[in-house]
Structure 1
Amino acid sequence: MTVLTAPSWSAPLGPSELAGVLTKLRQWTPYDGDTVLDDVGAVLDDVLPPRDLLADLAVRLHGHLARLADIAVATEADQEDLEARRLVQHARAVCAQQAPVAHVPTVGQLRRLAWAVNELLERLAALGCLREAA
């Protein structure tokens, strides 16, 4: 009778790599579609929020847009759908055009950012990459 031995196991990552993964996991926040819609709605509403909130809204919308682009890439929606690919490219271009965080954005900049978030959100929902947007 032949005895089979299993190969010895070794950890795929070393201690420093595992520490890096743990740090990223601790910084991660789950996707919150309601917050995305609230921020988009606040900017695209007929009445803008107070001027002192505009910079914070721009930062949040920038983060939403980057996260949605990442979701499109992770689900390969940008590879399988031409419109999703166009929207991801547009999202990246809009993000690259954003002013520094300390700068209060113009109404036009803020609304372009909100529209980019809204369009990508709707496309990803239509493709089934996200649950339906309200």
Structure 2
Amino acid sequence: MLERLRGWSPFDGGALLDDVAAVLDDVPPPEEDSVQLAERLSGHLARLVTISVASEAEQDPTVAQLVVRARTLHADRLPCGRQEAIAHLHRLGWAANELHDRLGLVRPIMRGAR
């Protein structure tokens, strides 16, 4: 348990938004950055899913749908073709952004309901 606490870092919404902006910008990210962006966005999605489950926010139907989508995208690998990779990065970015936004709406309501 102590090791898990030592390795824990708080969720960084700013880093998530930076990565989302990088992939959803009008100019696609450089090809050499695609793998790292996909890994970071997958990590953001995994953390958002964990937050959704732990906070019981996935009781909200929209959050539940976004969690399913996030899990599916998290499991997908980055495609090899440039256009396919950009499309995958866009899907990761939109999923992370939408789940992050929805959690921001739902979690305060849930805290008030307890």
The verdict on a shared fold, with TM-score over 0.5 as the criterion, is yes
Q: Match of 1:56, SS? A: helix
* TM-score, with length taken from structure 2: 0.85
SS at match of 2:70: helix
What SS does the aligned partner of 1:31 have? coil
Match of 1:58 among 32, 38, 43: 38
Structure in which a larger fraction of residues adopt helix: 2
* C-alpha RMSD of the superposition: 1.7
Higher relative contact order (CA 8 A, sep 6+): 2
Share of identical aligned residues, percent? 50
In structure 2, the residue matched to 1:39 is 19
Deviations 1:57-98 (A, max 9, x none): 11000000000010000010112x111111101111111122
Q: Between Structure 1 and Structure 2, how many residues are aligned?
A: 105
Shift of 1:117: 0.3
What aligned pairs does 1:13-28 form with structure 2 within 5 A after superposition? 21-28=1-8
Structure with larger Rg: 1
Structure 1 unmatched ranges of 5 or more: 1-20, 130-134
Q: Could you list the runs of 4 or more consecutive aligned residues of structure 1 that deviate by over 3 angstroms after TM superposition?
A: none
What TM-score do the two structures reach when normalised by structure 1?
0.73
CA distance in structure 2 between the partners assigned to 1:94 and 1:50 by the alignment: 21
